[in-house]
Chain A
């Protein structure tokens, strides 16, 4: 076996983290993006700016504050919560926040692109608001969901700064692929770094090819 047990564990952790974050993001992001796309609240741009923050901030800034928030001396611990820094749960929280814009944005765009008309038509066809959301909005936003899932998943796999800050580098708990690669390079073990890096390139490429092939309308980048 070319990959060491530690590397395999890191790969497993990475996939688990990406999957968990994506599922949580879709669950939270769908109603939130729907609300953003439909609301006429005049100050919604504040919320939009807030969600976009992770796009511009160095991940270390986000990681730093999450560390303070979730750490042993943080405010959450003070009110009785277990400290989540340097745990897998802490990593998931960090990833969810860090990858949020990559999920919310495509969902928001997809919901907005549907427009008012199909939902009005559904209302005249006796569908209740909740029913309209399930039978019209969700299926019509399918391309947005695919984009959101892929971007959320891929972005979480690639994250480094936030993980390093709040997760540290504990094999089997918080050591994900990107950090394992960093470790290998630090210790001049280029062969292992190659295997992991090259593997990640191939894996990402295959994932994107599958998605593009299954959904011709899918676009990661809006042109």
Chain B
């Protein structure tokens, strides 16, 4: 296992009890409201915070135990802070080289050119940090961390200090990193849209305790966890493009044996992507409807129901082995006699393609 941590912190105003084993690859998002201890957790993994009575093991190396503490500069990590935090007295190139020059030749797997190209900052190298926009600065900060060839990349809400426009500008770069690099990433966030686009594994933290952790699809659809009860509760599906239909501007994607038809025809066949389906865009019928405008209709099994309020009920379905959420009115659930185990047809009114 890649990262094995345990923290026990008991302060007057804050307690944290975390035991966690995180996967070797992919992006793990640590998700929770502010004050839930996500940043503390990340800082402790980096060694920026020394929480007594803790353990951090990474790929068999002990970074922290009761008797040892490896200081931050000796841990093979990269860290991206909330604010870009570029060194104001150095040029962009010098900022990038600051970390790189301190990494032994034999440990350099990501070249400076690689990092520069991935984040598209080649034209900024000669400039001073204060002349860059916030988004450009954060891209440099990410490249600076990548250029270390870290074995683990820690990102503390790297987009939260940016406005929505800049955020949308940087997200594609993060998705590229996710696709093209094999570095495991720990990504702290309180924004569900970032998490949905980037994370493979989700750890949900609340008031210093882990509410749940596992693959993102499961975490989004577990009715005992808070994510399935947000007003924009959603399901994520990993799809592969089969073909496109230029005449109608549509794309067909498979996920297992299911074929989804989604708008847009810019993705090449074979591309892997994520589909997002909002719970309020799913309706149920007992028989398969004909003469409907809805393109995506699949047979499904009702797994679980949970009443959200007097009017609405969240229904968890299973499409083959894919979980799907549908938010229905309590009235419909009673009229159709929907209960766990019954077979229904899920009509999906809208599917969004993420990236």
Interface residues of A (CB under 8 A from B): 117-118, 120-129, 131, 135-136, 139-140, 142
Contact in complex: B102, A124 (CB < 8 Å): no
Contact in complex: A120, B48 (CB < 8 Å): yes
Complex CA gap A187/B96 in Å reads: 66
Return the contact of A128 from the options B47, B73, B81, B87 (Cβ within 8 A). Answer: B73
Contact in complex: B87, A126 (CB < 8 Å): no
Chain A to chain B: the 5 pairs with minimum beta-carbon distance, closest first: A125-B99, A124-B79, A126-B102, A123-B72, A139-B89
Complex CA gap A139/B46 in Å reads: 25
Residues of A within 8 A of B89 (CB): 139-140, 142
CB-nearest residue of chain B relative to A120? B48
Nearest CB of chain B from residue A40's CB, rounded to whole Å? 13
Complex CA gap A126/B145 in Å reads: 10
Complex CA gap A121/B71 in Å reads: 13
Contact in complex: B144, A125 (CB < 8 Å): yes
20 other contacts beyond A121-B81, A124-B73, with CB at 8 A cut-off?
A118-B85, A120-B81, A121-B87, A122-B98, A123-B71, A124-B78, A124-B145, A125-B73, A125-B102, A125-B148, A126-B73, A126-B74, A126-B102, A126-B103, A127-B98, A127-B102, A128-B73, A129-B71, A129-B73, A139-B89
Nearest CB of chain A from residue B177's CB, rounded to whole Å? 17
> Given that A124-B78, A127-B73 are known contacts, is A136 also in contact with B99, CB under 8 Å in the complex?
no
Count of B interface residues, CB-CB < 8 Å = 23
Contact in complex: A124, B77 (CB < 8 Å): yes
Which of A125, A127, A136 has the largest number of chain B CB atoms within 10 A?
Answer: A125
Nearest CB of chain B from residue A76's CB, rounded to whole Å? 42
Q: Is B88 an interface residue (CB 8 A)?
A: yes
5 contacting pairs across A/B (C-beta < 8 A): A120-B48, A120-B72, A123-B71, A123-B73, A126-B73
Contact in complex: B98, A123 (CB < 8 Å): no
Contact in complex: A136, B87 (CB < 8 Å): yes
Complex CA gap A110/B98 in Å reads: 22
Interface residues of B (CB under 8 A from A): 46-48, 71-74, 77-79, 81, 83, 85, 87-89, 98-99, 102-103, 144-145, 148
Contact in complex: A124, B46 (CB < 8 Å): yes
Which of A117, A120, A126, A129 has the largest number of chain B CB atoms within 10 A?
Answer: A126
Nearest CB of chain A from residue B291's CB, rounded to whole Å? 60
> Given that A123-B71, A123-B72, A123-B73 are known contacts, is A118 also in contact with B87, CB under 8 Å in the complex?
yes
Complex CA gap A126/B48 in Å reads: 12
Residues of B within 8 A of A126 (CB): 73-74, 99, 102-103, 148
Complex CA gap A123/B73 in Å reads: 5
Which of A120, A139, A142 has the largest number of chain B CB atoms within 10 A?
Answer: A120
CB-nearest residue of chain A relative to B96? A125
Residues of B within 8 A of A140 (CB): 87-89
Complex CA gap A127/B103 in Å reads: 10
Complex CA gap A142/B87 in Å reads: 14
Residues of B within 8 A of A139 (CB): 89
Residues of A within 8 A of B145 (CB): 124-125
Which of A121, A129, A140, A142 has the largest number of chain B CB atoms within 10 A?
Answer: A121
Nearest CB of chain A from residue B115's CB, rounded to whole Å? 13
Residues of B within 8 A of A131 (CB): 102
Residues of A within 8 A of B47 (CB): 123
CB-nearest residue of chain B relative to A139? B89
CB-nearest residue of chain A relative to B102? A126
Contact in complex: A123, B87 (CB < 8 Å): no
Complex CA gap A89/B74 in Å reads: 45
Complex CA gap A149/B153 in Å reads: 42
Residues of A within 8 A of B71 (CB): 123, 129
